[in-house]
Amino acid sequence: MAARSAKSPRRRAKQERAHATLDAILEAAARVLVREGYAGATTNRIAEVAGVSVGTLYQYFAHKNDVFDALIRRETLASQRVLDAERPDPREALGVTLRRVFVGLAAVQPLGPDLYRQLEHVPNALLRRRVTQGKRHVLAFLRTLLDAHRAELRVNDLDLAALVILHATEGITMGASKELFGERMADELTTLFTRYLLKI
Amino acid sequence: MAARSAKSPRRRAKQERAHATLDAILEAAARVLVREGYAGATTNRIAEVAGVSVGTLYQYFAHKNDVFDALIRRETLASQRVLDAERPDPREALGVTLRRVFVGLAAVQPLGPDLYRQLEHVPNALLRRRVTQGKRHVLAFLRTLLDAHRAELRVNDLDLAALVILHATEGITMGASKELFGERMADELTTLFTRYLLKI
DNA sequence: CATTATTATGAGCGATCACTCAGATTCGCG
DNA sequence: CGCGAATCTGAGTGATCGCTCATAATAATG
């Protein structure tokens, strides 16, 4: 029974009360992280904001960073569900698919780039791997989508194009979230990438 | 004589020896930051790597983060010099100018995105402002460049376009630095943005 | 109600880290 | 040399933070 991530949830919630507590802790962790940064996100502070004691926090998480690991898992799982719901269809215009994905991804991240930016500051190899896996998932989706439209593309190296789209999107959503968001964000990203990708 | 950043260098180097020490500290800070992350970049560790004692470090910097402030200043000044050397010329193709800027900026950042990524993890309002100022400088340059080529552009909102270019570049250089760098990086960025910007 | 399982508490321990200071070392210069 | 100024040293101090554990409160069971 090889101990994979053996002790992550020390205690598994069996009662209603426990589930509420766990949610409160995760909610508090996200809020504290966004408002006070990683440096301010101490275990005692998170517990305080969650309205519980530190001891309670440590009944559900073995280490401080396990809390943030759970947050990352939550975020990436939501994003993966959006991508998995998409079935690349060559008959739908590439721009339409892309735009829908952008809107969908933005919708499942309530705290948006603010939380994500802070999560990137969490020092932990496990966390970094989870982020990397999330990116590989997006990359695979993009690669499939581009393949479905190969004939219409003016780019040659589809892997390179997927890489460019992924990271350009990340940079723009992270950096320009104050000036650009929602539908306009999706529009501009779609414009940028369709011009980059499509012939004519 | 309002105290602006009054006490930053506690001691100003007057001897050759002191300049060497200061350089060693900054060099060590950059190396430690890149190799061990912000969490591992303790003052004692930086001093150790620099080959001096902690006390020496605190003769040149009032606070730990002043060290990183100096690093950011160094990086942004180098970038600003590259941009200031450019005089947007409407007769030179937009793509050519852009590409030269990309190459120039990459050249003045020896440690590249690795250092920059870690510097973003330094928690300090002053530092964030310095980064913001650097971005505003880039934004202003891009805006001027786009203005010089206004007639050839298919985008309407030049401020928005500058924003997109800045952050897309940031995302790609930060995220794809393992797979894409140097000339190929500059080529792909140029392709992406000329297709985005130019008519035909 | 009694008994056991589950969940919650929070003072405090140990470790780490930013930063200090009293003194040693080295340099500039007559 | 000699002497003052500049530079360097590093053990130590106070504060903070991750995390524990003995104990208490609450829920489920019969």
Q: What is the full per-residue pLDDT of chain A (200 aa) written as tens digits?
A: 332 334 556 777 778 889 999 999 999 999 999 999 999 999 999 999 999 999 999 999 999 999 999 999 988 999 999 999 999 999 999 999 999 999 999 999 878 899 999 998 898 877 788 889 999 999 999 999 999 999 999 999 999 999 999 999 999 999 999 999 989 999 999 999 999 999 98
Q: Which pLDDT score is estimated for A13?
A: 76
Chain B interface includes A195 (CB < 8 A)? yes
Helix (H, G, I), strand (E, B) or coil at A198: strand
Q: Which nucleotide is nearest to B57 (CA to C1')?
A: D8
Q: Which pLDDT score is estimated for B50?
A: 98
Per-residue buried b or exposed e for B62-85, using 16+ beta carbons within 10 Å of the residue's own CB:
eebbbbbbbbbeebbeebbebbee
Q: Which pLDDT score is estimated for B128?
A: 85
Q: Which residue has the tokens 């060497």?
A: B20
Nearest-CA distance B20 → chain A (Å): 32
Residues near B91 by Cβ (< 8 Å), separated by ≥ 6? none
| Cβ–Cβ gap A176/B167 under 8 Å | yes
Q: Which pLDDT score is estimated for A140?
A: 97
Q: Identify whether the C-beta of residue A26 lies closer than 8 Å to the C-beta of residue A41.
A: no
Q: How far is the CA of B45 from the C1' of D9 (A)?
A: 15
Q: Identify whether the C-beta of residue B137 lies closer than 8 Å to the C-beta of residue B83.
A: yes
β-partners of residue A198 are A153
Residue A198 main-chain phi, psi, to 5 deg: -90, 150
Chain A interface includes B175 (CB < 8 A)? yes
Q: Dig out the tokens for A68 from the structure.
A: 């943030």
DSSP letter at B173 equals: H
Q: Which pLDDT score is estimated for B4?
A: 32
User: What pLDDT, in 10s, does the model give residues A62-95?
Assistant: 999 999 999 999 889 999 999 999 999 999 999 9
Global pTM reads 0.91
- Return mean pLDDT, chain B: 92
* Contact residues, chain A, for B163 at CB < 8 Å: 172, 176, 179-180
Q: Which pLDDT score is estimated for A1?
A: 30
Nearest-CA distance B75 → chain A (Å): 19
CA dist., res. B180 & res. A89, Å (int): 29
Q: Dig out the tokens for B106 from the structure.
A: 């990459």
Specify which residue's alpha carbon is closest to the C1' of nucleotide D27.
A15
Whether B16 sits with its Cβ under 7 A from any strand D atom: the answer reads no
CA dist., res. A165 & res. B171, Å (int): 10
Q: How far is the CA of A56 from the C1' of C11 (A)?
A: 15
- Return mean pLDDT, chain A: 91
Q: Identify whether the C-beta of residue A115 lies closer than 8 Å to the C-beta of residue A38.
A: no
| Cβ–Cβ gap B163/A171 under 8 Å | no
Query: Which B residues 113-152 touch A at CB under 8 Å?
Result: 121, 123, 135
Sign of the alpha-carbon dihedral angle for B83, B85, B87, B89 = negative
Q: Which of A73, A77, A98, A95 is nearest to A86 (CA)?
A: A98
Q: Which nucleotide is nearest to A51 (CA to C1')?
A: C8
Residue B29 main-chain phi, psi, to 5 deg: -60, -45
Beta carbon pairs, A and B, within 8 Å: 74
For chain B of 200 residues, list the mean pLDDT of each consecutive stretch of 10. Answer: 46 84 96 95 98 97 95 91 95 98 91 89 84 94 98 98 98 94 95 96
Q: Which of A30, A162, A192, A190 is nearest to A109 (CA)?
A: A30
| Cβ–Cβ gap B168/A171 under 8 Å | yes
